[in-house]
Amino acid sequence: MGDSILFGKILSLFLLPPGINFLLLLVGIFVLKKWPRVAKGLFSISVVSFYLVCIPAFSNYLLAKLEATPALNTQQIKAIQTDGLAGNRAIVVLAGGRITKAPEYGEIDAVNSASLERIRYAAWLQKRLQLPVLLSGGSVNNEATSEAVLMNQVMMSGFGTAPKWIESNSRNTAENATFSAAILAKAKISEIILVTHAWHMPRAQKEFEKQQLKVVPAPMGYLTAQSEAHSISILPSTKAFYRSTIALHELLGLVWYELRY
């Protein structure tokens, strides 16, 4: 794993909940005797911030900021079908992760739910737009099989759609864009229909546009569309915690990419 990717993972471990909350508690305990007021402040920040990330009101607020790009509508799809620019376009699907040694498949790696959702939507789009598909995703932890290859297997066997290109070297979103753009440039593709989760779209779109590609965002899997009832929006839940961590990870990723790439 590259040094920058490893550093990014370590950074997120300590800057995102629950790691940041435990870190604040530990620092508070360490300085309690010498600076009791500082320690109490750290304890308070740790508890209050953990409460916030555990409530739907906060998770929905964060996700709404990320999921601001609307889904492709029927009119947009029809326009793409009929504008005569198919030769310059492709559908690009970003990997969302894997399940390592899935026991139900005989201890072999399989796509996770995020990747599967992206494949399903991409296959749905491909049948309507009749555009070539590029799958992008490498082996983040040096696994023998890349995520793009795993996605290819599912896309062909489960959805009857074969991608035209497989990009297997990328380990993060920035590399998805860099390596995919190199493949598409050889095919003289200048515009892409980009498929990824709505909460991931801001970072993904920005990276592909840096590669001088015109991006038509095709976000899917909106978590804000699955919001919990308003009456319990201030009550902690594991679902809200999960969604908050996704949103915070993306927001931190946007900042990190601005600094790193």
Q: Determine, yes or no, domain membership for 240.
A: yes
Residue 128 lies in a domain: yes
115 shares a domain with 198: yes
Please give the tally of structural domains in the chain.
2
Residue 2 pLDDT > 60? no
* pLDDT at residue number 160: 94
DSSP 87-149: GGEEEEEE---EEEEEGGGTSEEEE-HHHHHHHHHHHHHHHHH---EEEE---TT--SS-HHH
Residues 215 and 236 in one domain: no
Dist. CA 8–CA 14, nearest whole Å? 10
Mean pLDDT of the chain: 93
Examine the domain organization and report whether 154 and 215 are in the same domain.
Answer: yes
Would you state the pLDDT for residue 227? 65
Half-sphere exposure of 56 (CA within 13 A, CB side): 15
Mark whether 99 and 180 lie in a shared domain.
Answer: yes
Question: Which pLDDT score, from 0 to 100, does residue 5 have?
Answer: 66
The three-state (H, E, C) secondary structure of 50-93, written as one string: HHHHCCHHHHHHHHHHHCCCCCCCHHHHHHHHHCCCHHHEEEEE
pLDDT for position 260: 84
Name the band, by pLDDT with cuts 50, 70 and 90, for residue 11. Answer: confident
43 and 164 share a domain? no
CATH code of the domain covering residue 183: 3.40.50.620
Q: 89 - beta bridge partners?
A: 191
Q: Is the pLDDT of residue 42 over 90?
A: yes
pTM attached to this predicted model:
0.92
Residues 79 and 208 in one domain: yes
Q: Are residues 111 and 163 in the same domain?
A: yes
- Confidence category of residue 4, pLDDT binned at 50, 70, 90: low
> Each residue of 78-112: pLDDT tens digit?
999 999 888 899 999 999 999 999 999 999 999 99
Same-domain status, 60 and 92? no
Residues 78 and 32 in one domain: no
Residue 185 lies in a domain: yes
3 pLDDT tier (thresholds 50, 70, 90) = low
Same domain, residue pair 47 and 83 = no
Same structural domain, 19 and 55 = yes
What are the pLDDT digits (tens) for 129-188? 999 999 999 999 899 999 999 999 999 999 999 999 999 999 999 999 999 999 999 999
Domain residues for the domain of 41 are 3-66+231-260
Asked if residue 31 is part of any domain, the answer here is yes
Q: Tell me what pLDDT residue 86 has.
A: 83
Q: Which helix (H) or strand (E) holds 177?
A: helix 173-186
The length of the chain in residues reads: 261
Whether 226 maps to a domain, the answer reads no
In a domain, residue 116? The reply is: yes
CA-angle at 214, arms to 132 and 194, nearest 5° = 50
Q: What are phi and psi of 147, to 5 degrees?
A: -65, -35
Same domain, 217 and 106: yes
Name the band, by pLDDT with cuts 50, 70 and 90, for residue 198.
very high
Q: Is residue 98 part of a domain?
A: yes
What is the per-residue pLDDT for 261? 81
Question: Over the stretch 222-239, which tens digit does the pLDDT of each residue have?
Answer: 998 776 555 578 999 999
Confirm whether 178 is domain-assigned: yes
Asked if pLDDT for residue 193 goes beyond 70, the answer is: yes
